[in-house]
A and B are shown apart, each in its own frame.
Chain A
Amino acid sequence: DTAVSQTPKYLVTQMGNDKSIKCEQNLGHDTMYWYKQDSKKFLKIMFSYNNKELIINETVPNRFSPKSPDKAHLNLHINSLELGDSAVYFCASSQDRTLAGSPGEQYFGPGTRLTVT
């Protein structure tokens, strides 16, 4: 069984469009995340979300918004897509946080390669 799944795996779209990427985890985890990995393979966290709070990386444009219909899903909506949004987007989940107050081990999905033309 796939622990963290994402759809679609590939997404090609034009500038200005609005698109969504879906993420589901069957691990029973409390916290989910979205990451962006650029062409230089640098992973950058975008959001951290559980049923209590949404933590947003302040560098993320407000064109990006996470939507969570339930604890097992965290979808990523992107409005007015730009060329610079082209990247691989990873969803991840963890069992809330460790005793030290930081996130537990994160399990990543397979990624969605977004290409904006």
Chain B
Amino acid sequence: KNQVEQSPQSLIILEGKNCTLQCNYTVSPFSNLRWYKQDTGRGPVSLTIMTFSENTKSNGRYTATLDADTKQSSLHITASQLSDSASYICVVSVGGSYIPTFGRGTSLIVHP
């Protein structure tokens, strides 16, 4: 069964600090992995997409890593800002399928 597990479920940090969110998956055959950011009251917005051959991908202060051997991904946020407060969702796509597998998300709160 295809599954995506995210940790922690929620995280509170101070503005300016770094943090790392984790995503473990059991999806086969693996096609790609995306991280989405969802602000309260809005739809998710894509941050990064990684395929099997990519280990690291950055988007500003967001850096995603992928270890296809251990089936793990992480999203590292550098120098957090108040606007980073959101839910971060890991989504893994299965090759040949229109039905991606979603994680339950990590709720991040950045305090001033």
Binds B, one of A65-73, A74-82, A105-113: A105-113
**Chain A hits for B49, CB < 8 A:** 105
Size of chain B's interface in residues, with CB distance under 8 A? Answer: 26
Number of A-B contacts (CB under 8 A): 68
- A41-B87, A42-B105, A98-B31 in contact; A103/B100 too (CB < 8 A)? yes
The interface size of chain A toward B, counting residues with CB under 8 Å, comes to 26
The interface of chain B, by Cβ under 8 A from chain A, is: 31-32, 34, 38, 41-46, 49, 51, 87, 89, 93-100, 102, 104-105, 107
What would 11 more interface pairs be, CB under 8 Å, given A41-B87, A102-B98?
A40-B104, A45-B99, A48-B99, A57-B99, A90-B44, A98-B31, A102-B31, A105-B46, A105-B49, A109-B43, A111-B41
